[in-house]
Amino acid sequence: MPEDAHPTPGRRHPTIDDVARLAGVSTATVSRSLNSPARVREATRLAVEQAVNQLGYTPNFGGQALASNRTNTIGAIIPTMENAIFARALQALQETLATRNVTLLVATSQYSPTHEEAQIRTLLARGVDGLVLIGNDRLPGAYQLLDARGVPFVVLWSAPADAQHPTIGFNNIAAAAEVAHNVIGHGHRDIAMIAGIAQGNDRARDRIQGVSQALAKAGLSLSPGHLIECHYTVKDAELAATQLLQSDRRPTAIICGNDVLAAGCLRAARQHGVEVPSDLSVTGFDDIELATAVFPPLATVRVPHRRMGANAGEALLGWLETGIRPASVVLPTEFVQRLSLGDAPPGRR
Amino acid sequence: MPEDAHPTPGRRHPTIDDVARLAGVSTATVSRSLNSPARVREATRLAVEQAVNQLGYTPNFGGQALASNRTNTIGAIIPTMENAIFARALQALQETLATRNVTLLVATSQYSPTHEEAQIRTLLARGVDGLVLIGNDRLPGAYQLLDARGVPFVVLWSAPADAQHPTIGFNNIAAAAEVAHNVIGHGHRDIAMIAGIAQGNDRARDRIQGVSQALAKAGLSLSPGHLIECHYTVKDAELAATQLLQSDRRPTAIICGNDVLAAGCLRAARQHGVEVPSDLSVTGFDDIELATAVFPPLATVRVPHRRMGANAGEALLGWLETGIRPASVVLPTEFVQRLSLGDAPPGRR
DNA sequence: ATGCAATATGTAAGCGCTTACATTTTATCC
DNA sequence: GGATAAAATGTAAGCGCTTACATATTGCAT
């Protein structure tokens, strides 16, 4: 960058020395005054405060980071910002961090482990003090990076896989099984599933497994053609659903890996003149705003997104402060019955 | 933080000195080798590279920031992450920045100017090299902060308001007027609007103005009871729409400030047995995925979100590199006709 | 070979802050 | 009032990096 790149060249920002001089104290006192006011006399604190205001001083981030070896920054890598469920979890995380003056650095992996590893590298290079990750599917290299730096991290959205790192999530298998259980309870026997792409996504895989297990328990199964994996978009789900609706033995219920997929399903049904729920039942997962914006509103699973976000913040902050690794937490989910799930057509129970 | 807070205490990260020693060169050469490889002999570069790999060295962020007075970080403050339109713009921005090894720090204002000012303060304290903001409504204090630091920033989503700062957006007034024009073209004369809250949001205000102007040009007007401002949620829009549908002279068309509001409108219509579009037309704004996930799909306005994001990135990077302030840009929008907008009922044209 | 310009590398001075330790001031107790 | 402990403040040494400037090396024309 050329010397004059700055839009207002020549301006020098006041440093801690300027403040110290003006307040008639040492830089150490200024630093303490700002960072641990309790360790400074009231009168001194006020003098410093006054000087700070007068000069418009703000601490230099680099200097602070270098000297304290902390950036007060937490990184989060989510699959995508386009699904509101992650956006809302991040919001809660950010609010929690903000109470302790920690900022959140967000990156996305686009559901790609390779991307995720690259983002981990970037965030570590940015000197984050801790990291929030989604799910347990990760390249070995990613764990090596994390380990090499020794940066604390928590995993969200999954159930604890092992004792390696704290996990704050829910049981995707059980939640998906509960959905399937409810679908079966409505008399459905020809059940299909549109899932997210399982490769590199343990949540998607677990949900498939949960559905499979529940079906098996009822003496049913997810026949090969009745399980379609696709990207989490309305469009792709619409195509997948179309395929299911045109198959030989059309399912009477489609269990979807999330609400976005379910919305695509509804669109396909409408396009093919299939009535929901009288001809076809559809279920979602997540309970985002979309679930009730579409018609019929989606039976789905309420996921504790805000709690995961907030807990993750607490866990990480506590870890950084005390050095004690937080425990893993499994939060409850709740099946939400809505119009999109109805009884199987009489002839096909 | 206690000394042993770190999960793997005692580990010292390799520094540039370690690399220099191992590679048998000076730290200056290591630095050059990493930051401007062209200025170093091939053989030297390889030796450094080898040492870097062997040690697992990564530059310390604080040291780098302090010495170079740059953080390679751009901040963005958006109203909310929960609207996919912003999420997608950010995605594009981030992709652009990533090509130059710049990371994006995201914060949200929740549509509150006070919040936004606080976030600006936070990001500046984080040492961002530049900033991306949404809209032109801002507290004077926010501009003072920006000005005091002399940090380059660009504004998205609005049309240039003045010569003060580069703006990369579109004409909300014209776009909204175009929507109204189309609605009028379908024979509607009783037109209502559900808008976002105008206070502190120039986009919302401009869209109201655009609709008003177009109506006025056709000899119509937005009667007081036919303009409702509400938060950008499906729920609130549903309430607002309910109110409109129950009013004395029910509108035959409701123009909404964005797609989320329009989705709420559709829900209210369904609940009151009002058919869209035969009894009531509804339009949205943004053309997010939701617009076609609902039924009937929303006539709306396609907003150049990705282009705004990408352009903002280019603009800021260029500004930082060259020191030359980029020009403002007004991007085109496109009205998208879909099923939710139809002809006014015969009796009420 | 020689001289000179161009290129590559080294030396060392900070960047602005925190914090261990030393010193001074204030409070407390007998 | 003096000794002692506690609290407040100061001194100064880095934290790890970049970069201006000095020096060494290389390439090239003569």
Q: Could you give the 3-state DSSP secondary structure of residue B88?
A: helix
CA of B17 to C1' of C6 (A): 28
Give pLDDT tens digits for B52-99: 999 999 999 999 999 999 999 999 999 999 899 999 999 999 999 999
Residue A34 neighbours by CB distance under 10 Å: 18
Q: Is A267 on the interface with B (CB under 8 A)?
A: yes
Best mutation target among A3, A6, A16 (most B Cβ atoms within 10 Å) is: A6
Give pLDDT tens digits for B236-268: 999 999 999 999 889 999 999 999 999 999 999
Environment class of A43 (CB within 10 Å of its CB; exposed 0-12, middle 13-18, buried 19+): exposed
pLDDT value of residue B11: 63
The pTM assigned to this predicted structure is: 0.92
Beta pairing partners, A193? A227, A255
Using the 8-state DSSP alphabet, how is residue A131 labeled? E
Q: What are phi and psi of B229, to 5 degrees?
A: -100, 135
- CA A3 to chain B, closest CA, distance in angstroms equals 9
pLDDT value of residue B8: 41
CB B192 within 8 A of CB B179: no
Strands A191-195 and A253-256: parallel
Residues of B in contact with A152 (CB under 8 A): 7
Instruction: Please tell me the distance from the alpha carbon of residue A156 to that of residue A139, in angstroms, as a whole number.
Output: 17
Strand D nucleotides with an atom less than 7 Å from a protein beta carbon: 7-20
Residue with tokens 């997948």: A240
Best mutation target among A69, A106, A123 (most B Cβ atoms within 10 Å) is: A106
Beta pairing partners, B76? B106, B132
CB B293 within 8 A of CB B267: no
pLDDT value of residue A11: 63
Give pLDDT tens digits for B198-228: 999 999 999 999 999 999 999 999 988 999 9
Cα three-residue angle B263-B76-A55, rounded to 5 degrees:
135
- Spatial neighbors of B36 by CB under 8 A, at least 6 apart, are none
Q: In this complex, which of A152, A293, A322 lies closest to B294 when CB atoms are compared?
A: A293
CB B57 within 8 A of CB B82: no
Nearest to A52 by CA among A20, A99, A97: A20
Which H helix or E strand runs over B227? Answer: strand B227-229
Q: Could you give the 3-state DSSP secondary structure of residue B316?
A: helix
Instruction: Please tell me the distance from the alpha carbon of residue B74 to that of residue B321, in angstroms, as a whole number.
Output: 13
User: Could you give all domains of chain B from N- to C-terminal order, each with its CATH number?
Assistant: 1-57 (1.10.260.40), 172-302 (3.40.50.2300)
Token pair for A280 = 């076809």
Token pair for A14 = 């006041």
Residue B312: pLDDT over 60: yes
- Identify the band that residue B172 occupies on the pLDDT scale cut at 50, 70 and 90: very high
Beta pairing partners, B156? B134, B168
Instruction: Please tell me the distance from the alpha carbon of residue B179 to that of residue B318, in angstroms, as a whole number.
Output: 35
Instruction: Please tell me the distance from the alpha carbon of residue A312 to that of residue A20, in angstroms, as a whole number.
Output: 38
- CA B320 to chain A, closest CA, distance in angstroms equals 6
Instruction: Please tell me the distance from the alpha carbon of residue B290 to that of residue B280, in angstroms, as a whole number.
Output: 19
Instruction: Please tell me the distance from the alpha carbon of residue A163 to that of residue A258, in angstroms, as a whole number.
Output: 28
- Spatial neighbors of A5 by CB under 8 A, at least 6 apart, are B319, B320, B321, B322, B323
Instruction: Please tell me the distance from the alpha carbon of residue B105 to that of residue A106, in angstroms, as a whole number.
Output: 7
Instruction: Please tell me the distance from the alpha carbon of residue B222 to that of residue A231, in angstroms, as a whole number.
Output: 43
Residues of A in contact with B56 (CB under 8 A): 148
Q: In this complex, which of B84, B122, B290 lies closest to A293 when CB atoms are compared?
A: B290
Burial call A204-219: b when 16+ CB within 10 Å, e when fewer:
bbbbbbbbbbbbeebe
Q: Could you give the 3-state DSSP secondary structure of residue B27?
A: helix
Instruction: Please tell me the distance from the alpha carbon of residue B38 to that of residue B45, in angstroms, as a whole number.
Output: 9
CA of B74 to C1' of C16 (A): 21
Nearest to A253 by CA among A220, A217, A292: A220
- CA A216 to chain B, closest CA, distance in angstroms equals 32
Q: What are phi and psi of B255, to 5 degrees?
A: -95, 125
Which H helix or E strand runs over B233? Answer: none
Residue B9 neighbours by CB distance under 10 Å: 11
Instruction: Please tell me the distance from the alpha carbon of residue A230 to that of residue B298, in angstroms, as a whole number.
Output: 25
CB B193 within 8 A of CB B175: no
pLDDT in tens, chain A (349 residues): 333 333 344 467 999 999 999 999 999 999 999 999 999 999 999 999 999 999 999 999 999 999 999 999 999 999 999 899 999 999 999 999 999 999 999 999 999 999 999 999 999 999 999 999 999 999 999 999 998 888 999 999 999 887 689 999 999 999 999 999 999 999 999 999 999 999 999 999 999 999 999 999 999 999 889 999 999 999 999 999 999 999 988 999 999 999 999 999 999 999 999 999 999 999 999 999 999 999 999 999 999 999 999 999 999 999 998 889 999 999 999 999 999 999 999 987 7
Cα three-residue angle B282-B287-B291, rounded to 5 degrees:
55
User: What mean pLDDT is reported for chain B?
Assistant: 93
Nearest to B156 by CA among B220, B223, B123, B203: B203
Residue B17 neighbours by CB distance under 10 Å: 11
Using the 8-state DSSP alphabet, how is residue B135 labeled? S
Cα three-residue angle A211-A214-A220, rounded to 5 degrees:
95
Residue B23: pLDDT over 50: yes
pLDDT value of residue A148: 86
